[in-house]
Amino acid sequence: MSPADEPAEAASASDDDAADGPVRRAERLLRWYPRPWRDRYGAEFTELLVSDISERPQSLRRSLDVARGGVQARLADAGLAGFPLPVATVGGVGTPAEQARQRQVSASLGAFSAALGAFLVFAAALWSQVLINWQWFAKLNPGLPATSTVRRLDQAPGGDAFFAVFSTDAMLVLLFLAVLAAMPVLAALVGRIARGRQPGLTGPAIVLVAALAVLFTGGRHFENNWVGTGGHHALVPSGLAAFIWALTLFVSSWWAHPALFATLPGAEQAWMALSPVILAVAVGSSTVLVRRVRLSPRVAAFEACLGLLGCVTMAAFVGCYGVWITAKVRLEPGLPLGLTVGATQATIIALLILALAVAAQAARMAARAVRRARA
Residues that bind another protein (CB under 8 A): 37, 41, 43-49, 51-52, 61-62, 65-70, 72-73, 82-86, 97, 100
In the complex, the smallest distance separating the C-beta of residue 81 from another protein, rounded to whole angstroms, is 11
What is the distance between the alpha carbons of residues 317 and 158, in angstroms, rounded to a whole number? 13
H helix or E strand, kind and range, residue 24: helix 5-30
In the complex, the smallest distance separating the C-beta of residue 71 from another protein, rounded to whole angstroms, is 10
In the complex, the smallest distance separating the C-beta of residue 59 from another protein, rounded to whole angstroms, is 8
Which CB atom, from 72 or from 340, has the smaller least distance to another protein? 72
First-last CA distance in the chain: 69
In the complex, the smallest distance separating the C-beta of residue 112 from another protein, rounded to whole angstroms, is 21
Which CB atom, from 84 or from 110, has the smaller least distance to another protein? 84
Which CB atom, from 151 or from 372, has the smaller least distance to another protein? 372
Contact between 361 and 107 (Cβ < 8 Å):
no
Which CB atom, from 36 or from 276, has the smaller least distance to another protein? 36
H helix or E strand, kind and range, residue 68: helix 60-77
Which CB atom, from 36 or from 158, has the smaller least distance to another protein? 36
3-state helix, strand, coil in the chain (%, to 5): 80, 0, 20
In the complex, the smallest distance separating the C-beta of residue 29 from another protein, rounded to whole angstroms, is 8
- Among 320, 296, 352, which Cα is nearest to 160's? 320
Largest CA distance in the chain: 103
* Residue 140: CA count within 13 A, CB half-sphere: 10
Contact between 310 and 359 (Cβ < 8 Å):
yes
In the complex, the smallest distance separating the C-beta of residue 35 from another protein, rounded to whole angstroms, is 15
CA distance readout (Å), 224 to 120, 219, 221, 326, 344: 22, 9, 6, 33, 24
Which CB atom, from 69 or from 338, has the smaller least distance to another protein? 69
